[in-house]
Amino acid sequence: MPDNNKQNDQAASGDSANTLDELVYGNTQDVYPKEPVAFEIECIERDGQATEYFRHHGATTLEHAFTVANILHRNQKPFEAACIYGLAFRIHSKNQGEYPLPQALMQVRLLCFLKAGKELPEYDLQMLAGLCRPYANYIESIRSAWRGGDGRQALLHMGNAFEEFLSGEEIDWLYLEIARKIHPSLFNSDAPKTADEKLIPKKLFMYWDKNPPEEIVENLYFHQGIPDMEIKLFNQEEGAEWLYQYYGTEARELFLSMRHPAEAADFLRVHVTNLYGGWWLDADARIKNEDALNFMLNQQDDVVLFLTKNHVVHNDFYGTVAKSDVMEECLRILYNNSYKHKHLYIAYKTGPGIFNRALSRTAFRSLEGINEGERVKLYDQEKFEEVIQQIDAPYKSRLPLWQAMG
């Protein structure tokens, strides 16, 4: 074992990056104290926001160390984040009742090493395998795929490790990123359509809970002027009654218990598009032009989804046939989250997260030879911006930052 005090002095005095790498690789080990040492403080101080938090709160508790690491991760400093996730792991009691769980800290640490283009500390990888084998499979699979390995084999090795995570977490995005590169398509988007198969209905659904502002009313009028599309805008009262009529008291009660209008809209949209089929469009978005409309009307696939650059599904605009496998899966995930994780962040609980998890399950089953033949077409952010535009709405400038971003 190297002399850690000597290594700390070297890192603090600005010696080579390789020396810092060695220190960070080993900082989960108990030879270090349960508080930040010099090279860890150096990593924190590479980011202004992390430094500010550290100065106010320190990083001697699991909560604060984890928060600092998350700031670094969010601010795209993965190597530095890996370092502080290591500190948080060192502070952790290793009790499975303490959150975040030790395996969660270790897997995100190793993922950050991969994002930084670094090798993985084998000691940590073995420790992760002992804590949670599916997590280790996940990290090993991402390492293989990102280093040019066979994507199919990587996903087969990962298995359904995503089920160990809440819907919408990063594993779903990364799983989808790899799955999209596999040929033939795991989503059947390259399968020919037969003449007797149904198309996405020419219906467009929207939601605004109550008292829509002028710009939302104008946007509805705009869409009602489209001759080839049946338009329906739900409000809260209509949504609750519709859910009761077609899905019963359980659906209505859950809908009315949602914490925010955006969460209620999420809940309603999955039910409506599952039963009727058609297109969903958020009330503050607009079909861009005639070319965009023709794009929608000419779709031949069963489910049409759009992805952000990070492979997160846009649930603010999508199309589906009635009772598609993907939408049925979204419903199952939605109800599970509504009962088991009712305080979960909206994007994970009812929003894009349920769509991403549905796609993970679809691709996994396809890999395992269970394929219903449903064609799911996935378009990129660029195509989304060609089809949809956000309307100028004064209320958006008054929203809290988290809400405006959602």
Residue 281 forms beta bridges with which residues? 317
Same-domain status, 217 and 109: no
Instruction: Express each pLDDT in 156-185 by its tens digit.
Output: 999 999 999 999 999 999 999 999 999 999
Cα atoms in the Cβ-side hemisphere of radius 13 Å centred on 153: 9
Instruction: Express each pLDDT in 190-246 by its tens digit.
Output: 777 766 778 999 999 999 999 999 999 999 999 999 988 999 999 999 999 999 999
Residue 401 lies in a domain: yes
Residue 41 lies in a domain: yes
Same-domain status, 391 and 254: yes
Same-domain status, 250 and 361: yes
Q: What single-letter DSSP state applies at residue 344?
A: S
Residue 176 lies in a domain: no
- Give the span between the Cα atoms of 17 and 26, in whole angstroms: 14
Contact 348, 162 (CB under 8 A): no
The CATH number assigned to the domain holding 283 equals 3.90.550
pLDDT of residue 393: 65
Same-domain status, 119 and 250: no
Residue 180 lies in a domain: no
Same-domain status, 229 and 321: yes
Same-domain status, 246 and 125: no
pLDDT in tens, the chain (406 residues): 344 444 444 434 334 445 899 999 999 999 999 999 999 999 999 999 999 999 999 999 999 999 999 999 999 999 999 999 999 999 999 999 999 999 999 999 999 999 999 999 999 999 999 999 999 999 999 999 999 999 999 999 999 999 999 999 999 999 999 999 999 999 998 777 766 778 999 999 999 999 999 999 999 999 999 988 999 999 999 999 999 999 999 999 999 999 999 999 999 999 999 999 999 999 999 999 999 999 999 999 999 999 999 999 999 999 999 999 999 999 999 999 999 999 999 999 999 999 999 999 999 999 999 987 899 999 999 999 999 999 876 544 444 433 333 3
Residue 48 lies in a domain: yes
Same-domain status, 235 and 322: yes
Residue 163 lies in a domain: no
Same-domain status, 263 and 377: yes
Residue 178 lies in a domain: no
Same-domain status, 238 and 107: no
Domain of residue 30, residue span: 4-131
pLDDT of residue 305: 98
Closest CA to 83 of 136, 49, 121: 121
Strands of 15-65, DSSP E: none
Which among 85, 102, 131 is the end of a domain? 131
User: What percent helix, strand, coil does the chain show, rounded to 5?
Assistant: 55, 10, 35
Which among 70, 100, 131 is the end of a domain? 131
Residue 142 lies in a domain: no
Same-domain status, 228 and 331: yes
Same-domain status, 91 and 220: no
Which among 68, 100, 131 is the end of a domain? 131
Number of domains in the chain: 2
**Token pair in block for residue 261:** 């209008």
Task: Name all contacts of 247-250 with Cβ < 8 Å and 24+ positions apart.
Answer: 247/271
